Amino acid sequence: MIKITFPDASVREYEKGITGLQIAESISHRLAQEALAVSVNGETRDLTRPIEDDAEVQILKWEDEEGKHAYWHSSAHLMAEALQELYPGIKFGIGPAIENGFYYDVDPGEGVIIKESDFPAIEKKMMEFIAAKEDIRRESVSKSDALKMFSERNENYKVELIDELADGTITTYTQGRFTDLCRGPHLPNTSYIKAVKVLSAAGAYWRGDEKRPQLTRLYGITFPKKKMLDEYLLLLEEAKKRDHRKIGKELQLFTFSPTVGAGLPLWLPKGTQLRLQLEDFLKKIQRQFDYQQVITPHIGAKQLYVTSGHYAKYGKDSFQPIHTPEEGEEFLLKPMNCPHHCEIFKAFPRSYKELPLRLAEFGTVYRYEKSGELHGLTRVRGFTQDDAHIFCTPDQVKEEFLKVMDIIFIIFNALDFKDFEAQISLRDPDNKEKYIGSDENWEKAENAIVEACREKGLKAKVELGEAAFYGPKLDFMVKDALGRRWQLGTIQVDYNLPERFELEYTGADNQKHRPVMIHRAPFGSMERFVAVLIEHTAGKFPLWLAPVQATVLPISEKFNEYAYQVVKTLKKYDIRAEVDDRNEKIGRKIRDNELKRIPYLLIVGEKEAANEEVSVRKQGGNDQGSVKLSIFAENILREVEDMVSSQVK
């Protein structure tokens, strides 16, 4: 007999060799029906795999991320099986589960193109295999047998992967006539999958190397209920409407130019205004938390990034060094701001009385992303980080962590990101040699993060082994209005850079000490954050943030002059306004400006011009009647002040 411990700490005894599915059945018939995989001592396994020893066990369902992963991983194999039937000779690369669904990289053969019109046939074949209730069987094989099997099938991509594996670690999964190289885990059989959809096809270089063959990447998604698929497809349609590239063009926020270069956004006046409002908002918060603003160059000597370790990490992803032919110097476009901030700290002798020293910068950095990976503002080659680096004593880490969390919560709340999760990434206790810094400092930093989360009442998922080699960190994953997860805020503790740059401060004992460095970026990057914000709000920004807060609509050309007087007056109140003086009917003007998501429309005609008034219409069709222009301006200022001051106290 073996002892099985469940998440609620209860313990049951079972015969050795029992499976996760049998354990689920012993608890309840419903649990067995909902079970997708099983966690055994933290390892996700197939439900049908025997458990041989005492273990901590959790039955994983659709609600669990690991359950979804097994479901969608099995679905990737199901799609591959269908492709094998429909495209004889097709070769397979990799087919992982991803956050929403799965994909498979395939080589369909020379001259063969898988198009959107082919998707229904693929889906039909997948449904046939689902109806057949094919068992999904796991088998351990030797490296030589695996090489022979996939070589005989001319699966050169699989052979390449097997060549890199150690003998004794190779497993395959088989369903019907399809066998794949895979670690798993998978569902017991294909009938668990109820609703399927092939979503899209794209090009993808083998192993992300543009010098290697370009494969076809097919994306798909599946669900245990058709209703869930229908709801997801509606969500996708809404996501298309909210695409930041589409809205950014409609609202004239940003653009890209092939002449300037791929992945280098050009911020238009309205987009720049949006960015500046976000920057001013964060600067106002930072002033209250005693941050000091700094500015550093866009380039730095190559040796700076060699010292910091960024050249070793990002060298391949950096733009090629800039050479000065006469001096023989080498410069890089900076991939990170932190080495520059280390040099600012190092510029003067520092005392413990100056710590914590909080340096903040909206610093633009550059990474060479491959052209195929660029995507609007979410993946660019030049981006601005809302960066800050806090230099403190080890005893100050917890307090500084709490303050940074306060800043992140203020921003999330102000921008209506109310649904978020946090992850604490700690070092692997069984592999401490891969991390730098003393055990004492690591324990102090890790405990500080855990205690800070506890004090804030923040339920954070703890992941062992996910810490950076230089220190533990806390990441925030935000869900937008469509339920999609984005990583935005991050706080990282760093023992590496202070060591590499030999940073020191004089302590109360008059001895030299090494400071701890905290990296902090609530937005992450301005580009990516704006993209997420656009899609979260569908371009309907809060009044304090809107690039244009009011548009004045004269009912005819006779009142254009008064309309411009209104804008001139509003600008004196620092209200962002413009005139729509097109020779169009007022109904058309109202409709067009509603589509531009302008918070307030001010309609002016003979009565308004005579009385120095404006007829106010709020976004969404709420007519508020005519008011004196000065009263409207004061109301707007009060509304903005209330919005901002309620967040920044």
Residues acting as catalytic residues: 338, 367, 385, 387, 389, 473, 519
Residues 180 and 172 sit within 8 Å (Cβ to Cβ)? yes
Q: Most distant CA pair in the chain: distance in Å?
A: 93
Phi and psi torsions of 211, nearest 5°: -90, -5
| Paired strand residues for 377 | none
Residues in Cβ contact with 568 at an 8 Å cutoff, skipping those fewer than 6 apart: none
How far apart CA 371 and CA 319 sit, in angstroms, is: 13
What 3-state DSSP class applies to 51?
A: strand
Eight-class DSSP state of 642:
H
User: Alpha helix locations (H) across 368-516?
Assistant: 397-414, 439-455, 496-500
CA 339 to chain centre: 24
Residues 104 and 96 sit within 8 Å (Cβ to Cβ)? no
CA 498 to chain centre: 28
Query: Measuring CA to CA, how many Å separate 329 from each of 306, 315, 321, 333?
Result: 14, 17, 9, 14
Residues 295 and 362 sit within 8 Å (Cβ to Cβ)? no
Query: Measuring CA to CA, how many Å separate 130 from each of 188, 222, 266, 483, 579?
Result: 12, 12, 49, 29, 60
Query: Measuring CA to CA, how many Å separate 564 from each of 147, 547, 557?
Result: 76, 18, 12
